[in-house]
Structure 1
Amino acid sequence: MSRLDTLEAAVHAVLGAQVKRLVRDRGELTLTVAAADSLAVAQALRDDPRLQLEQAMDLCGMDYSAHGDGTWDGARFAVVTHLLSVSQNWRLRLKVFCDDDDFPSVPSLTGVWSGLNWFEREAFDLYGILFDGHEDLRRILTDYGFIGHPFRKDFPVSGHVEMRYDAESRRVIYQPVTIEPREITPRIIREDHYGGLH
């Protein structure tokens, strides 16, 4: 039995019906659980001696609204946490979909893995996903006056407002975006014998 087989069997044994989906692809396991179960699942993944996923390596938000060329019919937002067991030498990806697309929210996992603090703040800032129970959920990458969440698929590339220093008023001001959207198509030059190739 391979190490991945052992991990897969342990996940099913420990979590049982809490496993909504367990996908094995390219030598990795991705576990999907309901948002309501995610905190209890996280504690089991960390504390159960058959799993021992002591470390959370990363957490990121996901916007599935354009997934599959727009054919995706599931929940729009998800949170993906990458876990590592140093003692067992295996990894697991934990995926939790937000129940409400208009008000995306999942329980905070900072009580289980405190190192996820800034990762959850980043997912909140960039995707607008709220983490219930997070003690200091505020923007971490964008400006305090920033409007919207820039990693959402429907956020315009140029943004909504721009910031600049105004010499007359001697302060930074916000104004509507003045950049005109344009598409740049590179000019392709084809030469018959370019680089000595025939």
Structure 2
Amino acid sequence: MSNAQEILLTRLQQHFGVTLQQSCIKLDEITIEVSSSQLLSTCQCLRDDFGFSILIDLCGIDYLNYGIADWEPSSRVTGTGFSRGVSTAIYQENTEATQRRYAVVYHLLSIQHNQRLRLRVFTDGEPPRIPSVIDIWNVANWYEREAFDMYGILFEGHPDLRRILTDYGFIGHPFRKDFPLNGYVEMRYDPEKKRVIYQPVTIENRVLVPKVIRHDNRYVD
């Protein structure tokens, strides 16, 4: 944590006041959170008044089951590797923030002041919606299309919100936590129809963790 970061955080807290739902310094970077209704005005102010003229990245987050651990090592074994002793469905306390599912994170850079900032905003409704920031940072165009493709987040005001990474006709959003690992459909070439067709997934899940068998006198009755 540097003195410049502390000064910037104080300025942000004083300027935005109660608009900031959260503000802190984590991982050597300032993180602030605002509501979706305050997103555009906050971003405009960050660009014009605080010098954050560059949007480095924009990404979606799915907090489904956040804070719920399916694996917890026992006290007698290591916490990593194949020798873990585990218990399923170990539930941790969920905070109010984790009960909201989708969020968008904006990573900003000020070349003028040589500072970075992380802005998080939770979406509204289902399907999740949030205003587009293209009019503030034009580079957000493809970033928002990627977040829409992967998470199904709708960016209101986006001029051309289409999928950008998945194929035409793709079903679902693959970065959502409840999206099956094998997907819903698979693609193959049909020699009879002489074209590529889509069909329900026929791949079966396989257990890839090997079973460790130790020939040791400690395990002999």
TM-score, normalised to structure 2's length? 0.81
| CA shift digits 1:45-97 (9 cap, x unpaired) | 0000xx21110000000000121117544210000010000110111100000
Partner secondary structure for residue 99 of structure 1 = coil
Q: Say whether residues 1:52 and 2:51 are aligned partners.
A: yes
| Alignment partners' CA distance in 2, 1:61 and 1:95 | 10
| Alignment partners' CA distance in 2, 1:189 and 1:86 | 57
Tell me the residue number matched to 2:124. 99
- Identity across the alignment (%): 51
1:158 is aligned, of 171, 178, 182, to 182
Tell me the residue number matched to 1:74. 99
Distance 1:96 1:169, change over 3 A: same
Q: 1:76 is aligned with what amino acid?
A: R
Ranges in structure 2 where 5+ consecutive residues have no aligned partner: 69-90, 217-221
| CA shift digits 1:104-153 (9 cap, x unpaired) | 01000111111111110000000000000000100000011110000000
Distance 1:189 1:88, change over 3 A: farther
Partner secondary structure for residue 149 of structure 2 = helix
Partner secondary structure for residue 29 of structure 1 = strand
Tell me the residue number matched to 1:196. none
RMSD (Å), alpha carbons: 1.7
Tell me the residue number matched to 2:27. 26
| CA shift digits 1:158-179 (9 cap, x unpaired) | 0000011112111110000010
Ranges in structure 1 where 5+ consecutive residues have no aligned partner: 193-198
Q: 1:93 is aligned with what amino acid?
A: R
| Alignment partners' CA distance in 2, 1:138 and 1:104 | 16
| Alignment partners' CA distance in 1, 2:104 and 2:21 | 15
CA positional deviation for 1:26? 2.7
| Alignment partners' CA distance in 1, 2:215 and 2:39 | 58
Q: 2:64 is aligned with what amino acid?
A: S
Query: Which stretch shifts more, 134-143 or 61-70?
Result: 61-70
- The alignment of Structure 1 onto Structure 2 pairs a total of residues equal to 189
CA contact (8 A) 2:9 2:24 kept: no
2:132 is aligned, of 108, 111, 115, to 108
Tell me the residue number matched to 2:64. 65
Partner secondary structure for residue 30 of structure 2 = strand
Q: How does 1:1-198 map to 2 (within 5 A)?
A: 2-48=3-49, 51-69=50-68, 71-72=93-94, 73-100=98-125, 102-188=126-212
CA contact (8 A) 2:150 2:176 kept: yes
Q: 2:119 is aligned with what amino acid?
A: L
| Alignment partners' CA distance in 1, 2:142 and 2:132 | 11
TM-score, normalised to structure 1's length? 0.90
| Alignment partners' CA distance in 1, 2:193 and 2:120 | 49
Q: Structure 1: which 4+ aligned runs deviate by more than 3 Å?
A: 70-73, 187-192
CA positional deviation for 1:17? 2.1
CA contact (8 A) 1:75 1:99 kept: no
Partner secondary structure for residue 114 of structure 1 = coil
Distance 1:191 1:47, change over 3 A: farther
